Amino acid sequence: MRIATWNVNSLRARLGRVLDYLQEHQIDVLAMQETKVKEADFPAAEFERLGYQVAHRGFNQWNGVALASRLGLSDAAVVFPGQPAFGKPGQAAAVEARAIGANCGGVTVWSLYVPHGRGPDDPHMAYKLAFLKALAADAADRLAADPSAQLALVGDFNVAPLDTDVWDPAAFEGLTHISPAERAALAGLAEAGLREVTREHLPGEHLYTQWDYQQLRFAKNQGMRIDFAFCSPALANRVTSAAIVRDERKGKGASDHVPVQLTIE
């Protein structure tokens, strides 16, 4: 079984690349983030033509998450328990399209797009920390209810846990992604009992999953490692390998993120 996560940064712009990737790498379950498409416009037929069932959550050109599975897809949920809402000052808060989960071939897979944070004092930062806290609390509850649960929380977490997960920590000083608060919030997933399996299998430094489009960041390998897979212990024990598919950042029309994939026995 092969599960992958990919922030596609506009599915309609990358659809051809995504469909080619699914076939070339024989992906069984793909979690996508930043689809940036309304549910009515999601290209489900293109995935179904290749034998995948799909579930998608999206409202407009922002955010958006999806799952595509050729191992079955059932019990889909578009909000995890406790998921916080967000609203600008003076506006009503709403739950954004940042999480979708389903049973895919016996594994509960959640595709997650954690808020960016925008800035240390921005309301979006408090939202980001609340999102990660609620996610960890839900994971702890799931594992307490069923220690043998087959659970994978995958996606773009918008946090670089280690200094070597960014090309230059000094360049991020006073910004987002590496602050102690963000790193502590992400560490809450491990404290809840999950294991981040991509680093277990790919422990090297400067193994990035995202490179900005500006200033030739990819050519200079000036990136960030912010896409991860947090698995329940029972599922983590079944993971035999992981890969960061760096070649997907090359060429015309690439997303700024690349797929991260797991092979599970």
Strand locations in the chain (E): 2-7, 29-33, 53-57, 65-69, 74-77, 99-104, 107-113, 151-156, 195-196, 227-231, 239-244, 260-264
Q: Is the pLDDT assigned to residue 264 strictly greater than 90?
A: yes
Other Cβ atoms closer than 10 A to 219: 8
Distance of CA 169 to the CA centre of its chain: 22
In angstroms, the CA 135 to CA 226 distance is 16
- pLDDT value at 96 more than 90: yes
Helices (H) and strands (E) in the chain, counts: 6, 12
Distance CA 255, CA 120 (A): 26
Q: Render pLDDT for 68-92 as a digit per residue (tens, 0 to 9).
A: 999 999 999 999 999 999 987 788 9
Cα dist from 213 to 220, 248, 249, 250, whole Å: 11, 14, 10, 11
Tens-digit pLDDT profile for residues 250-259: 999 999 999 9
Cα gap 215→9, rounded to integer Å: 19
Q: What is the pLDDT of residues 200-250, one digit of tens each?
A: 999 999 999 999 999 999 999 999 999 999 999 999 999 999 999 999 999
Q: For 14-54, how does the pLDDT look when each residue is reduced to its tens digit (9 = 90+)?
A: 999 999 999 999 999 999 999 999 999 999 999 999 999 99
d(CA 138, CA 223): 30
CA distance 131 to 213: 27
Rounded Cα gap, residues 64 and 38, in angstroms: 8
List phi, psi (to 5°) of 186. Answer: -70, -40
Q: Is 57 a residue whose pLDDT tops 90?
A: yes
CB atoms within 10 A of CB 169: 14
| Strand order through the sheet with 107-113 | 74-77, 99-104, 107-113, 151-156, 227-231, 195-196
CATH of the domain at 237: 3.60.10.10
The count of domains in the chain is 1
Residue % of the chain over a pLDDT of 70: 100
- For residues 172 and 193, give the distance between their C-alpha atoms in angstroms, rounded to a whole number: 29
Nearest to 225 by CA among 183, 253, 173, 195: 183
- The whole-number pLDDT of residue 91 equals 83
* pLDDT at position 65 over 90: yes
pLDDT-based confidence at 186, cuts 50/70/90?
A: very high
Half-sphere exposure of residue 106: CA atoms within 13 angstroms, side-chain side: 8
Which H or E run contains 1? Answer: none
Residue 81 has what pLDDT? 97
Q: Give the pLDDT score at 110.
A: 99
Which residues span the domain enclosing 24?
2-264
